[in-house]
Amino acid sequence: MSSNFSSNSSTSNGSHRSWAEQTKDRYRHPYDIGPSVFEVPKRLSDTKPDAYAPRKVGLGPYHHLRPDLQLMTNKKRDTVKDLLKIEDIEEFIRIVENCPISFEAKIRSCYSRSIDLDRESLAWIVIIDAIFLLHLVQAYSEKRSDHCSSSTSSSDESFLGDIVMLENQIPTLLMEEIPKVLQYKYPVPQGKDIGEALCRLCYDIAPIEIE
């Protein structure tokens, strides 16, 4: 099962303009970081798609828009609204719509594939998915530290295998940016040790033993 979201070059004028704008933004907002989320070579993903493609939840621009994963979209949106205690929806929308151009440039720097999405769409995808992922990591960490706790529901736990998929990633670099992008107006569930918590979760649920 390959992603239904394609980022291949288009011959449309809109796509060419988008590419040109992306190029100019990369010059205007350079980052000394290379990509950390890579696309699985097609010869591998075609051979064993279940090993590389998420089955329940898409995280990040490579898989978020896949039609077969859209049942999770409403759950992610509702989770974000509840976690951030959003009361003024229009203000939240305005903040995301006006996210810094530098945030878009940083997102594109983290992914090896060229992403044919405008700045606002890319911001929505990363912000919603990052906060949802932070929720899962935080809940898992709480449950791990207290075996009697039921911080994660069985439905949440069923998503955990998807977040270790190679292409299905939100880099910690971007997750750390979310509070700033949202102008520090919302209680983003992010601890100072989020990177360590993510590594611990991946270590626990990895299908192979990690030494």
DSSP code per residue over 129-148: HHHHHHHHHHHHHHHHH-TT
Give the pLDDT band of residue 140 (cuts 50, 70, 90): confident
**Beta partners for 111?**
37
Q: Cα dist. 61→6, 183, 187, 207 in Å?
A: 10, 23, 24, 24
Two tokens, residue 8: 């291949």
Nearest to 160 by CA among 200, 111, 195: 200
pLDDT, position 208: 58
pLDDT at 107: 92
Measured CA to CA, the distance from residue 50 to residue 45 in angstroms comes to 8
Nearest alpha-carbon partner for 64 in 130, 139, 153: 130
Tokens 């929806």 correspond to 89
Range with lowest mean pLDDT among 37-46, 127-136, 147-156:
147-156
**75 phi and psi angles, rounded to 5 deg:** -65, -45
Cα 51 to chain centroid, rounded: 19
Q: Is 23 helix (H, G, I), strand (E, B) or coil?
A: helix
- Summarised one tens digit per residue, pLDDT across range 20-37 is 776 777 677 666 677 888
Q: Give every CB contact of residue 54 below 8 A, 6+ residues apart in sequence.
A: 63, 69, 162, 165, 168
| Nearest residue to 107 (alpha-carbon basis) of 163, 76, 64, 141 | 64
Decide: 110 and 33 in contact? Cβ < 8 Å: yes
Closest among 185, 72, 183 to 129, alpha carbons compared: 72
Residue 58 has pLDDT above 60, yes or no: yes
- Per-residue pLDDT band for 9 (boundaries 50, 70, 90) equals very low
Rounded distance between C-alpha atoms, residue 133 and residue 124, angstroms: 14
